[in-house]
Amino acid sequence: MKADLTILTATIGRPNLNRLIESIDSQTWCGKFLHILLWDDYRLENSLTPEHFNSEKRYNIITRSGGKNPGASPAGRVYGLGIMSAYTPWITMADDDVWWEPNHLEQLFIALENKKWASTLRTVWSPTNLNCIGVDRFESVGDDPTKRVDYEMCDSNTMIFKRELGVYASPAFRETLQYDGDRLLYSFFKQHGGQRGRTGTPTINQYCPNHLERFFWNNCDKTTDFHVI
C-alpha cells in the first residue's frame, strides 16, 4: 500500500490502544497512512494479541526477546526500529496512552508548510479521576517563549518529521540508556531540521503518568475551557 505517512505506536497492550486506533481511523486528513504497532517482550496481562490489530493499513513489528537495553527507556529500541522500517515521506509517533482529536493530522500538515518537522500541543488528563489537567506548556512547546520550565522539549508524541531526518536521529534514540529519547530527538531536529512548524493548538490528548501527576498539575495551562471525556 502506497502511503504518505507512517504512524508508529510503541505498545504494551494498554486498554487505551483501541481508543487511539479509533481516533487515528477518524482523522479528517485526506492522505494515506500506515500504522505500525511496535511490541517488545513486555505485555500487560490479558492484553489483546498483536495479530488482533492487523488490517490493510495496520501491522505489527515484534521483538520477541531482549526488547530493552538494560536501564533504558522501554520504547527507545522499538521506536528506533520503527523509524528505520518506515518508507513513507513522513513519520509521526503515538504511544498507547494517547488519542488524537479528529483534526490532529490535518493541523500538523498545515503547520509543516514546506518545513521538515512540526509539532502540536497536547492536553493532559489525570489517570486517577479522568479530569483534564490542562494544556502542556512545558514538554510540547520546545523553545516557545510561553514554556513554563527552564529546558526545551517536545514530547515525541507531538511531532511529525521527514523520514530522512528521523533516520539520522534514530541511533541516539535507540542506544540511550536514559529516559531522554524525546529530548534527543527534539535536540537533533532543532539542530538539523531547520525551522519547526507549530499548530498552536492542542490536537493530542495524553494520560499523565501516575508518578508525574503533581508535576503536570503544577505546569499545565488551565486557562482554557475543555470538553470532558
Give tens-digit pLDDT for 112-122. 999 999 999 99
More reliable by pLDDT, 29 or 211: 29
Distances in whole angstroms, Cα of residue 124 to Cα of each of 93, 111, 152, 211? 17, 21, 18, 14
Tell me the average pLDDT across 82-95. 96
Half-sphere exposure of 136 (CA within 13 A, CB side): 30
Task: Calculate the CA 149 to chain-centre distance.
Answer: 20
Instruction: Tell me how far apart the alpha carbons of residues 82 and 10 are, in angstroms, rounded to a whole number.
Output: 9
Interhelix angle for 181-192 vs 74-85, to 10°? Answer: 40
17, pLDDT greater than 60: yes
69, pLDDT greater than 70: no
| pLDDT value at residue 97 | 93
Tell me the average pLDDT across 39-67. 85
- Any idea where the domains of the chain sit in the sequence? 5-221
Tell me the average pLDDT across 30-44. 91
Query: Looking at residue 48, what DSSP letter applies?
Result: P
| pLDDT value at residue 58 | 97
| pLDDT value at residue 218 | 87
Tell me the average pLDDT across 53-62. 93
CB neighbours of residue 191 within 10 Å? 9
pLDDT tens digits along 100-144: 999 999 999 999 999 999 999 999 999 876 789 999 999 999 999
pTM of the model: 0.92
Of the options 3.30.1330.20, 3.90.550.10, 3.40.1010.20, 3.40.50.720, the CATH number for the domain spanning 5-221? 3.90.550.10
More reliable by pLDDT, 224 or 226: 224
